């Protein structure tokens, strides 16, 4: 009897340990990277076509391939909130920079200046948000 009781305690402890570790292992894991996220929200000028918008986003991709330190881009807006100058923001894109040095180098990079020749004439207004940890 004593042996059966001991086995139950050991078995119960083992089950609790397994379940408990599963709960701990299943906890959400997240990081706090030191990269910089550059979020641009905007609306386009009246008359800008879907093809024009595609040129802007294709230009972001081209720029990202040319500028060292751009790690990732997000090009498809799912939900955009807010307004600029009384007009509803409609589009967004994001670039992730490896670090502050890459972010600073991007501003005056020739590929960025070339992309602006496409983007600026089509943009109504935009807001940028630069975020890091």
Which tokens belong to 91? 């589009």
User: Could you report the per-residue pLDDT of 82-104, keeping only the tens digit for each?
Assistant: 999 889 999 999 999 999 999 99
Pairing of strands 87-88, 83-84: antiparallel
Q: What is the residue-wise DSSP string for 52-109? A: HHHHHHHHHHHHHHHSTTEEEEE---S----EETTEE--EEEEEEESSHHHHHHHHT-
What is residue 16's predicted lDDT score, i.e. its pLDDT? 57
Contact 88, 41 (CB under 8 A): no
What is residue 98's predicted lDDT score, i.e. its pLDDT? 98
Averaged pLDDT, 23-50:
91
Angle 31-65-111 (CA atoms, 0-180°, nearest 5)? Answer: 115
Q: What are phi and psi of 24, to 5 degrees?
A: -65, -40
pLDDT score of 59 more than 80: yes
Averaged pLDDT, 10-33:
69
The mean pLDDT value of the chain amounts to 89
pTM: 0.78
């Amino acid at each position: 009897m004593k042996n059966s009781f001991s086995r139950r305690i050991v078995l119960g402890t083992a089950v609790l340990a397994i379940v408990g570790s599963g709960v701990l292992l299943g906890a959400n894991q997240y990081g706090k990277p030191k990269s910089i996220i550059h979020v641009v929200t905007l609306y386009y000028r009246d008359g800008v076509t879907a093809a024009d918008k595609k040129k802007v986003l294709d230009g972001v991709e081209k720029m990202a391939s040319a500028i060292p330190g751009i790690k990732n881009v997000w090009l498809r807006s799912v939900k955009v909130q807010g307004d600029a100058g009384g007009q509803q923001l409609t589009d967004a894109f994001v670039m992730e920079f490896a670090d502050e040095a890459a972010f600073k180098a991007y501003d005056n990079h020739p590929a960025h200046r070339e992309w602006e020749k496409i983007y600026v004439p089509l943009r109504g207004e935009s807001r940028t948000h630069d975020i890091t940890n």
